[in-house]
Structure 1
Amino acid sequence: MLGWKKTPPIRTLVGEGTVVTGELRFSDGLRIDGEVQGDVVASGEGRTLLVISEKARVHGKVRAGHVIINGSVHGPVVAETLLELQPKARIVGDVKYEALEMHQGATIQGGLLPLQVDDKPSLKLAASATGVPDRGLSQPAASNPLHKI
């Protein structure tokens, strides 16, 4: 699991049939089998694990290190290390992730954005990066004799 030696323990459970209203903050691990009407946010330092089971529903923002979803989320999702979308996952909202694992059947109605896009180096052509003239390679395709269709 991305170099983790040990998965954080699940110390908190929102059981099936339970409805929590308001922001829910947790450390280590949290499993949701019920419903949360509000944001679910990992707090503190260290690794965190959030499991949203098949029967669970969250109406609000979700943010944690490792997020596993097999239920329903209506709101944005941010997974700081790994996002696992299992077959019955349903997300309505934008998703940001460091790494993504998506099973067949999972659906997202929103945008998919990798985290740290600004930290990645921009793409440079090898010819322009070395200072060597491009010898006409940047010409439009019609006038470039090296371009084949």
Structure 2
Amino acid sequence: MFSRKKQPPLKSLIAHGSRIEGQLLFTEGLRIDGEVQGDVRATAEQPSLLVVSESARVEGAVHADHVIVNGTVHGPIHAGELLELQPKARIVGDVVYKALEMHQGAIISGQMRPLAVLVEEKPPLKLASNQS
């Protein structure tokens, strides 16, 4: 779903020096360079990309398909597809992800859990008996 060439476009920006308080909903792509106090959530209608830059700080839950963190997040992160933690990422909270890319220097203070992968049911194993 997320090749390097077909990521959703970054259509919104919370600039350095800006501060948002309250729940934030976005579509497609959002880059945060400032501060957000409240949950940041992508709408489920289309693939989403959230970038938390080195200067950014988020205090609240984060939900998106592809999440890239190089700043600070105090709260749980749910990445439906890919979670990228760059070297200056600082996360205080649990993370849930389908795929994880973590660079040296990134820190997580919380539990890490992969999304449950649906396993195709296999027929039960039948053992051969030693009866003649």
Give TM-score, length-normalised by structure 2.
Answer: 0.89
In 2, distance between residues paired with 1:8 and 1:2? 9
Tell me the residue number matched to 1:130.
Answer: 125
- Partner SS for 2:119: coil
1:11 aligns with 2:6: no
Q: Give 4+ residue runs of structure 1 displaced > 2 Å after superposition.
A: 1-5, 119-122
1:100-128 deviation per Cα after TM superposition (whole angstroms, max 9, x unaligned) = 000000000000001125x2369x9xxxx
Give TM-score, length-normalised by structure 1.
Answer: 0.79
1:104 aligns with 2:99: no
Tell me the residue number matched to 1:91.
Answer: 91
Choose 1 or 2 for highest CA Rg: 1
Structure 1 or 2: larger strand share? 2
1:67 aligns with 2:67: yes
After superposition, the Cα gap between the structure-2 partners of 1:5 and 1:132, relative to the gap in structure 1 and judged at 3 Å, is same
How far has the Cα of 1:5 moved from its partner?
5.4
In the TM superposition, what are the counterparts of 1:16-95 in structure 2 within 5 Å?
16-95=16-95
RCO higher in structure (CA 8 A, sep ≥6): 2
Give unpaired runs (5+ residues) of structure 1.
136-149
How far has the Cα of 1:3 moved from its partner?
4.5
Structure 1 or 2: larger helix share? 1
In 2, distance between residues paired with 1:14 and 1:4? 23
